[in-house]
Amino acid sequence: MLSSDTMRGYNDTIILSLLLEWPSYGYEIAKRIKERSNNKYVMKETTLYSAFTRLEKQDYIRSFQQDKTMGRRRTYYEITAKGREYFDQKHQEWLLTQEVVNQFITDNRS
Amino acid sequence: MLSSDTMRGYNDTIILSLLLEWPSYGYEIAKRIKERSNNKYVMKETTLYSAFTRLEKQDYIRSFQQDKTMGRRRTYYEITAKGREYFDQKHQEWLLTQEVVNQFITDNRS
DNA sequence: TAAAATTACTACGACAGATGGAGTAAAAGA
DNA sequence: TCTTTTACTCCATCTGTCGTAGTAATTTTA
């Protein structure tokens, strides 16, 4: 339903918001995004995993292995203190983005 | 204040929203974006003009010359019927985007 | 119990939109 | 006349997303 064209710029923040709840891994994050958005947004696997790589490089998340009980070996990620700061910053930015975009799109007729 | 990283995906729609009011040209559009956003968002010139090219190629806007009274020769743009349709579609998409992103970022703690 | 589906990634090349920087050009203002 | 403002145009580069393909282990189903 929603294209990553419009979601671009918020993919990283969405991932962080879920890791804020509990450490998780790619496949689960993907499912949770789909579920929580009521199937309105499905993040592509390649997009998701490249986001992980990027976020880890920036020290916003940290990876670790956990003794899994089922399925293939997973790489778990948890959010760092720096990642939490970044999320708060992005949260503020999102509030401002809505204000600004609404100034043009919603408030302004149509 | 706002980066085009977060605005990307809505630049075209913002431009169309202003052309919906009256035909205009690059320099003026740039100023109106800055003003209406209370200096929170400044669209880069290159971004703006490349958006014009893209939008015209897609038949969402149409260019014309007008007898100008001052300054350098301007290229004016007006929105087409197809552009209006596209805008309405993007408007709906924006409402949905807000809903979905808020599900993760705002409603969800922090 | 063998085949199919699901889980869980990794690699790679292509592409579109945004950016920085440089340059051009005409008119208005000091 | 020199500077500022208006009004673009061109180009090379970067970043994030995408499509496609492949790997691998475990669970389900036939």
Local confidence band at B73 (pLDDT 50, 70, 90 cut-offs): confident
Asked which of A61-70, A80-89, B59-68, B97-106 is least confident by mean pLDDT, the reply is A61-70
Query: Which neighbouring-strand residues pair with A79?
Result: A61
What are the tens digits of pLDDT across the range B11-36? Answer: 999 999 999 999 999 999 999 999 99
Residues of A with Cβ-Cβ distance to B109 under 8 angstroms: 20
> Is A10 in contact with B98 (Cβ distance < 8 A)?
no
How far is Cα A75 from Cα B12, in angstroms, rounded to an integer?
Answer: 38
CATH 1.10.10.10 fits B4-104, yes or no: yes
pLDDT at B71 over 80: no
And the tokens for A110? 């149509």
What are the tens digits of pLDDT across the range A56-96? Answer: 999 999 999 876 556 677 999 999 999 999 999 999 999 99
Return the domain boundaries, chain A.
4-104
Residues of A with Cβ-Cβ distance to B95 under 8 angstroms: 106
Is A101 in CB contact (< 8 Å) with chain B? yes
